[in-house]
Amino acid sequence: MDMLFGLVLLSVIAFVSWVGYLAYQEGIKIETSKRHGEAWLQWLGASSAKRFQPDFELVACAGVVPAVADLVTPAASIGNTASTALANSWGGCFKTLTRPEGPWSGQINPFSKAPVQLVLKCDKSDLSVAGHFFFEKLTPTPPGSPLPVVSSLLTDADPLDQKIQLRLTLCDKGGDSIRIGEVEF
């Protein structure tokens, strides 16, 4: 009977160790995803003031509308684009940032091993959103309102012609949202 108890005890210890290892691996994936989000916020914050200058290197993310000639002629900088439809909009900016030569190109989703993408929202019924992000645009309300800001999803068509307050949210493995932070861009 003592031998049976010893075997059961060892198997329980092995099982708990294995579950702890799996939980640790999932925690590493979440922390890696958080670091990606923090890098995005750092880049957006650092580029916020510079993007309204005429010589900003990423034309698609600039706050000033470039001349039409700049949009249709190929240029050496990674921010120039030939598409006038996405010029100075969030969609064009995000595509520029995630291109192979863009500043966010090397970020891989640790859950899916694919490049990091934006999703519409975190959804508990769709677990494929794990490790992906979504941006919310925060719009201030008039003074005296019960809510200081109203949040809405940042869409590809949103213009970047003025400063906007953004909130970045990460979707975890269970479809829950984790707020990474806010930044003015």
Residue matched to tokens 């869409």: 155
71 has a pLDDT exceeding 60:
no
Q: Give me the pLDDT at residue 82, please.
A: 39
Asked if residue 3 belongs to a domain, the reply is no
Q: Give me the pLDDT at residue 87, please.
A: 55
Asked if residue 51 belongs to a domain, the reply is yes
Q: What is the tally of structural domains in the chain? A: 1
Asked if residue 15 belongs to a domain, the reply is no
Is the model's pTM score more than 0.85?
no
Asked if residue 139 belongs to a domain, the reply is yes
Asked if residue 106 belongs to a domain, the reply is yes
Terminal alpha carbon distance of the chain: 68
Of 12 and 117, the one with more pLDDT = 12
Q: Give me the pLDDT at residue 72, please.
A: 44
Residue 126: strand, helix, or coil: coil
Q: Is 182 exposed, middle or buried (0-12, 13-18, 19+ CB in 10 A)?
A: middle
Q: Give me the pLDDT at residue 81, please.
A: 41
Asked if residue 12 belongs to a domain, the reply is no
| Domain housing 102 | 29-184
Question: Is the separation of the CB atoms in 135 and 166 below 8 Å?
Answer: yes
What confidence tens digit (pLDDT) does each residue in 94-139 have? 998 888 888 888 889 999 998 888 899 998 998 889 999 999 999 9
Q: Give me the pLDDT at residue 65, please.
A: 61
| Half-sphere CA count of 118, side-chain side, radius 13 A | 19
Q: Say how far apart CA 78 and CA 40 lie, in whole Å.
A: 17
